[in-house]
Amino acid sequence: MQLKTIRKSILATSLVTLTAAETMVPFGNSTRWAMTYNGKVTGPTLRVHPGDHVTVKLVNNLKQATSLHTHGLHVSPEQDNPFIMVEPGKSYTYTYDIPANHTAGTFWYHPHMHGITAEQVASGLSGAIIVEDMDDDQLNTISTNRVLVINDPPLTDKNPWADASDSAKSNDSSMGGMNHDMSGMSGMDGMSGMDGMGGMGNNSSGVDMMTAMMGRTGPKLLTNGFEGVDLTGSGGKLERLHIVNATASTSLKLIYSGAKMFVLSSEGGRLPAPKEVKEVTLANSERTEIVLIPGTNGGTLTAQRLSNEGNGAAMGSPEKIASIAADAGSDISSLPISFMMANTRDLFASDVKVANQRVVTLSGHMTPTIDGKLFDPNVVNFTAKKGTVEEWVIDNTTPMYHPIHLHTWGFQVQGEEGWQDVVTVAPNSKKVIRIAFDDFAGTTVLHCHILDHEDTGMMAIIKVD
């Protein structure tokens, strides 16, 4: 615990500025158009610790409004507030108090501008958040600590969705909903959206109906802006990678050709112990933390795109994510047998009291909905009590996969290991989750993380008090 105290004193005043802007970025021997934070193809990695107070100033130099969401981070809905929007030329300072008992893990930040979220994330606005705890002190001595952010942006010389996003910005697409729990807001500089809810733009920006339904994808998977990265210079340490699927709509299956692959974390933090796997499926917005053992000739991590409909079959050829050098560490015995800070609480244990059970139905095809309703910023769809555990059956009656993301409160999926913030429900099937509304009263959202679905209205408001 002493280590954390020391870190907190160092990081207590940490201030990060993220400047969102359209930028020409290097690609191959040429350049491509992107939306970037601080001019880079991937936003800076925010490394934080339980107990930290983090300040992030978002400067909007885009031609459209934007915002910031700290995906998966367990902070109050007032701080990670999806109803804030920052107009072009303005800035907003977010502050985050990371709870002292926050789990370690891989999280990420991205815009949450209803109506144009898919456009902004697909264009490159994303970065990783790594929460490190005392287990990381040990892991950092035996392994690398690299961050790979995967996306599939348009490979164009200008914004392919510009016209639509401009019109969306000027009328209906603002996130609105500012009447929800805005007390105690601070850091305001040019924030807007307090009025004029508008019609919420139940159309996805700049794409046709079919693309909005299937979710927009790009021609190539890029890893930190490259068509695969070559990882060398581990100094004999194990290769430990934090991987973020930051695509707008593309589910991925990661496959490794080297000797062994171990998963250390689920979306919601570290597993009780490292687990050897053959492959890792990451729906868009999901993350993993893995250790790759090279084998005699090294190894290559590839990703296969998965269809968002039918049986979720693999599509196209595997695309390179990273190659692992043969001289990377291979001493598996140095991996911890278990993690001392892992969250081993089981929400499906027999002694857990379930305060409420409900069925949440996903329906519709061209325009998917939650419980038959499109997002309305003035309607609270769900209410729950702080300090309770609820059981939700997510019933997907549509022919598409939907990775459903709940802000703020972590949950467990029946039959699956670890904690999650995204549950992917296959067509015409159900999944049962239990949500721990332990702390943080407030109002936020749950939505499909196929971001074109979110933008077309597959989002609902939840209020916890």
- Asked if 450 interacts with Cu ion (CB under 5 A), we say yes
- Cβ closest to Cu ion, residue 238 vs residue 394: 394
Is 453 among the residues that bind Cu ion (CB under 5 A)?
Answer: yes
Residue closer to Cu ion, measured from CB, 90 or 114: 114
Q: Is 291 in the site for Cu ion (CB under 5 A)?
A: no
Q: Are 420 and 409 in contact (CB under 8 A)?
A: no
Judged by CB under 5 A, does residue 402 bind Cu ion?
Answer: yes
Give the nearest distance from C-beta 266 to Cu ion in angstroms: 21
Task: Tell the smallest beta-carbon distance from residue 350 to Cu ion (Å).
Answer: 33
431 near Cu ion (CB under 5 A): no
User: What's the min distance (Å) between Cβ of 347 and Cu ion?
Assistant: 24
* 404 contributes a contact to Cu ion by CB under 5 A: no
Nearest residue (CB) to Cu ion, 407 versus 453: 453
Residue sitting closest to Cu ion (CB) = 448
Location of structure tokens 């002493």: 2
The site that binds Cu ion (CB under 5 A) totals a number of residues, namely: 4
**Contacting residue, 207, 229, 448, 461, with Cu ion by CB under 5 A:** 448
Q: How far is the CB of 215 from Cu ion (least distance, A)?
A: 8
Interacting span for Cu ion (CB under 5 A) from 63-71, 118-126, 341-349, 442-450: 442-450
Smallest gap from residue 451 Cβ to Cu ion (A): 9
Please give, one letter per residue, the 3-state secondary structure of 336-362.
Answer: CCCCCCCCCCCCCCCCCCEEEEEEEEE
> 349: exposed, middle or buried (C-beta count within 10 Å: 0-12, 13-18, 19+)?
exposed
Give least dist CB 261 to Cu ion, A: 28
Instruction: Please identify, using beta-carbon distances, which residue of 254 and 362 lies nearer to Cu ion.
Output: 362
CB of 252 to Cu ion, least distance (A): 16
Please report how close the Cβ of residue 370 comes to Cu ion at its closest, in angstroms.
9
Q: Which is nearer to Cu ion, 59 or 422 (CB)?
A: 422
C-alpha pair distances (Å), 206 with each of 114, 135, 163, 280, 350? 14, 45, 7, 32, 49
Using CB under 5 A as the binding rule, whether residue 370 contacts Cu ion is answered as no
Beta strands 411-413 and 369-370: pairing type?
unpaired
The residue (of 161 and 401) whose beta carbon lies closer to Cu ion is 401
Q: What residues make contact with Cu ion under the rule CB under 5 A?
A: 402, 448, 450, 453
